[in-house]
Chain A
Amino acid sequence: MIGFYQYLLLATMLFAVGIYGVLSKRNAVAVLMSIELMLNSVNLNFIAINRYLVTDQAVGQLFALIVIVVAAAEVAVGLALIISIFRQRKSVNLNDFNLLKW
């Protein structure tokens, strides 16, 4: 009964929760966590496709691995940016990060 489509639907719901978090949260760290959720759902799609559609090679798993590497780099740089901005602005609220806004 559970097959490829259920995995796609689960990944879609995970991605939708991530979209909601990115658009509605005020804390910059929460936005980063929501981005992680979205990346996870993409990885889940890659691996489900590797399991059900393209089974002869492990390319989907390789892609997911590289996405994980990029996500780790993104989190490291993103959190460093947040800490650096927090030193100047004493806040992690995204509404206060309006240096480039006019």
Chain B
Amino acid sequence: MNMNDVVFLILGFITLLGAVGVVSCTNIVHAALSLVMSFLGVAGLYFQLQAEFLGLVQIMVYAGAISVLIIFAIMLVMDRNPDETNTSHQVNRWWGGLVAVLFAAIMGLAIRGSHFTEQAGSADADRVGQIAELVLGNYVIAFEVAAILLLVAVVGAIILAKGAKEQ
């Protein structure tokens, strides 16, 4: 076992622990904080996979912005005792567990049976430069559409939350 394996195991454990915390905490504020932990674990895995830019974006956008937004929304819609805000449905929890376990088992078997030819990646490739060339080159339409999507989402979120005035 070398260093990379140990780092992967620790980060994977943090990620899964956070994810399980999201679905098992009965207080939804604790669930949101577990979500932040899971996001940070995933960001560490991105760094481990030599995707430094994506790791930083993950920390800024997910662990920073999205989690703050979620916690704000939780504070605005808290309507009962905080300790029972994140309860599971009495019947659906069993169906959900069954579907999740079946999905994991089938996908695990499929992954185990499949074969991929791995390439040896170069560790010192200029990933950020490559992303920049792709974003402003072949994929510039997707980039522009993403920008418009964000604008529409911001306007739509404001109108939905604030309410538009009837003319």
Contact = CB atoms under 8 A, between A and B. Distances in A.
Given A9-B111, A48-B49, A52-B121, A19 B99 contact: yes
A47 B57 contact: no
A27 B157 contact: no
Contacts of A25: 23, 86-89
Given A12-B107, A72-B66, A80 B31 contact: no
Interface of B: 1-2, 4-5, 8-9, 12, 15-16, 19-20, 22-23, 28, 31-32, 35, 38-39, 42, 45-46, 49-51, 53-54, 57-58, 61-62, 65-66, 69-70, 72-74, 76-77, 79, 85-89, 92-93, 95-97, 99-101, 103-104, 107-108, 111-112, 116-122, 125, 127, 130-131, 134-135, 139, 142, 146, 149-150, 152-154, 156-158, 160-161, 163
Contacts of B104: 12-13, 15-16
A17 B73 CA distance: 22
A37 B38 contact: yes
B161 A54 contact: no
* 3 interchain residue pairs of minimum CB distance: A23-B96, A73-B153, A24-B96
Contacts of B150: 69, 72-73
Contacts of B51: 47, 50-51, 61, 64
A13 B38 CA distance: 13
A29 B73 CA distance: 8
Given A10-B15, A14-B15, A19 B22 contact: no
Contact-residue bracket for chain A: 35 or more
A76 B153 contact: yes
A92 B79 CA distance: 8
A29 B42 contact: no
Contact of B88 (A6, A26, A54, A68): A26
